Amino acid sequence: MDRKHYTTSQFAQKAAVTARTLRFYDKVGLLSPSEYTEAGHRLYSDEDLWSLQQILALKFLGFSLEEIKVCLQKNPEHLQEALVIQKAMLREKRSQLDAVLRAIEKAEELLKRNQRDWESILIDVIQVMHMEQDKAWVKKYLTEEQQQKLAEISQKSYSPEAAQKLAVWGENWTEEDQQRASQQWDAVFAELRRLVAERKDPTSVEGQALAKQHSELIKQLTRGDADVEAGVKQWWKNYEELPLEEKPFPMYHSSKEEKAFLQKALAHYKLSNGMQCSQN
């Protein structure tokens, strides 16, 4: 039985594309018709429909026409490799779009407050944009879900003024800075667990050494700024209220006993040194 053939207009209607698209694909060598009429008109088959569907699927996934041509000419292993690369590229694009959305939301919030003129808001957006671009290394340590959750917590915790200050301070924050800070906080929580497990007194020498270390890390983050300190305190409160499975840093989860120990240690340290300490 002869194969069924379709004219360009019939095939275009069947495939839900335009005749112009089919002519273009034929011109660039991506999809040529199975046969031609004596008058030179294109005739497409059902096999051509399957090839077209593959092309449209790859195009939907973001492949260029040249990349599609290579994928169709080579074996499935090559296609699998190409899909892995394409997935990574799309994730990067999604991350960039998320950064743009966050910048837009920040601009909208400032406009609603009518606190500053457009030029100032634009400067803020540019700062956010540069900060996002410069923090590509963050993806090595945090998944997109973790980054999104952290952004949500921060939005709830910091005032626009405090958020702006942190954004400016964070412009020069490097991967090495993050590694050092992570090691310091890991040491704080490890020591907190040890002291609680050994039933130490929060006002003991060891308890106060922990309180001092914790306070100095908070001071490094806040630089003594009252707005930022209030935001940090609220950040920890919001963070602790999250279910454990939603916390971006489950290793920083504290038991009730550990929270109580740290609060007492910090309160005693504050009284002994006449200073104001933020608590987690």
Read off the pLDDT of residues 44-57 as tens digits, 9 standing for 90 and up.
Answer: 988 888 888 888 88
Longest dimension (CA), the chain: 99
- Cα angle for residues 167, 148, 186 (degrees, 5° grid): 75
Q: What is the pLDDT of residue 179?
A: 77
- Phi/psi for 119 (5° steps) reads -60, -40
* Residue 59, pLDDT above cutoff 80: yes
3-class SS of residue 36 = strand
Ranges 29-38, 77-86, 122-131, most confident: 29-38
pLDDT of residue 149 exceeding 70: yes
What's the whole-number average pLDDT of the chain?
78
Cα–Cα nearest to 51, from 76, 69, 77: 69
Q: What are 274's two structure tokens?
A: 């006449």
What is the distance between the alpha carbons of residues 217 and 273, in angstroms, rounded to a whole number? 16
DSSP secondary structure string for all residues of 37-99? -TT--EEEEHHHHHHHHHHHHHHHTT--HHHHHHHHHS-HHHHHHHHHHHHHHHHHHHHHHHH
Alpha-carbon distance 231 to 265, whole Å? 21
φ/ψ (deg, to 5) at 185: -70, -35
Q: Is the pLDDT score of 209 beyond 50?
A: yes
Coil, strand or helix: which one is 5? strand
Q: In whole angstroms, give the CA distance from residue 124 to residue 46.
A: 55
27-36, 104-113, 127-136, 238-247: which has the highest mean pLDDT? 27-36
pLDDT of residue 134 exceeding 70, the answer is: no
What band does 165 get if pLDDT is binned at 50, 70 and 90?
A: confident
Q: Does 279 score more than 50 pLDDT?
A: no
Helix-strand-coil percent breakdown of the chain, rounded to 5? 75, 5, 25
So what's the pLDDT on residue 171? Answer: 65
Q: Smallest Cα–Cα separation from 106: which of 79, 132, 127, 125?
A: 125
Question: For 226-236, what is each residue's pLDDT tens digit?
Answer: 888 888 888 88
pLDDT interval class at 258 (50, 70, 90): confident
**What does the pLDDT read at residue 3?**
65
The tally of CA atoms less than 13 A away on the side-chain side of residue 27 is 6
Across the range 109-118, mean pLDDT stands at 64
Overall pTM > 0.85: no
Find how far residue 79's CA is from the centre of its chain: 27
